[in-house]
């Protein structure tokens, strides 16, 4: 199989720089890594005055994948799951694979705000207190991270379900045993392959088996 275009979309407050080690590894393997810096997240142009919402980021990703010669493997982390689903819903033929890495996986009408934990909502509110327009980065984020456009986190996804027609989909979650039930309760398709890297393998194997998720593939942590 020839090299693939792998488009990498970072989560909130981060830019394409976050994926540079991955890009280098992909290139060494004969693929082409394309790391995206979403609008409003360029460290050289922080907090622009123009309006930026979820639709802005979806349109940016669509422009990129439509300009590439073949359907892409697209990887979205955290907030970027909403961007990934929105773009794949609009143009599913431009995506060969969707990879959600600890990411939002919205249904129609969901927003990042509606999908995240309470502590993250508190961060959105407190972090936006300085400008009312941008959410300041968390203290432990990389020094290159910048404030994130608030409207992208609040706008609801508008999905027809066409994104589900992308045949190859992968979901990677960083979970503890206590979070397994919540993951199972998310009503994953039983045919979905779930890759799990956890030390407490027996707990997870039992939970996934009871839920009928027979496609779970367990990877021993290194």
Cα separation, 66 vs 171, whole angstroms: 24
Q: What letter would DSSP give residue 31? A: -
What does the DSSP assignment read for 178-208? GGHHHHHTT---TT--EEE--S-HHHHHHHH
> How far from 148 is each of 36, 59, 181, 184, CA to CA, in Å?
15, 17, 31, 30
Cα separation, 182 vs 173, whole angstroms: 11
For the question of residue 78 being annotated catalytic, the response is yes
| Tokens 């432990």, located at residue | 140
Q: What letter would DSSP give residue 29? A: T
User: One of 78, 82, 85, 157 is an active-site residue; which one?
Assistant: 78
Catalytic machinery residues: 78
């Amino acid at each position: 199989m020839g090299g693939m275009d792998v488009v990498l979309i970072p989560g909130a407050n981060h830019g394409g720089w976050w994926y540079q080690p991955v890009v280098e590894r992909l290139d060494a393997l004969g693929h082409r890594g394309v790391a995206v810096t979403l609008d409003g997240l360029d460290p050289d142009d922080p907090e622009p005055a123009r309006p930026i919402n979820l639709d802005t980021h979806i349109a940016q990703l669509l422009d990129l994948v439509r300009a590439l010669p073949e359907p892409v493997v697209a990887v979205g982390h955290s907030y970027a799951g909403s961007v990934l689903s929105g773009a794949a819903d609009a143009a599913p033929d431009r995506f060969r694979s969707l990879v959600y890495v600890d990411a939002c996986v919205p249904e129609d009408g969901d927003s990042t705000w509606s999908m995240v934990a309470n502590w993250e909502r508190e961060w959105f509110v407190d972090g936006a207190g300085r400008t009312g327009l941008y959410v300041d980065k968390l203290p432990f984020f990389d020094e290159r991270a910048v404030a994130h456009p608030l409207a992208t986190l609040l706008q609801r996804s508008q999905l027809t379900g066409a994104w589900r027609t992308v045949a190859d989909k992968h979901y990677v979650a960083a979970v503890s045993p206590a979070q397994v039930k919540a993951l199972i309760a998310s009503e994953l398709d039983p045919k979905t392959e779930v890759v799990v890297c956890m030390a407490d393998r027996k707990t997870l194997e039992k939970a996934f088996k009871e839920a009928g998720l027979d496609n779970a593939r367990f990877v021993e942590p290194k």
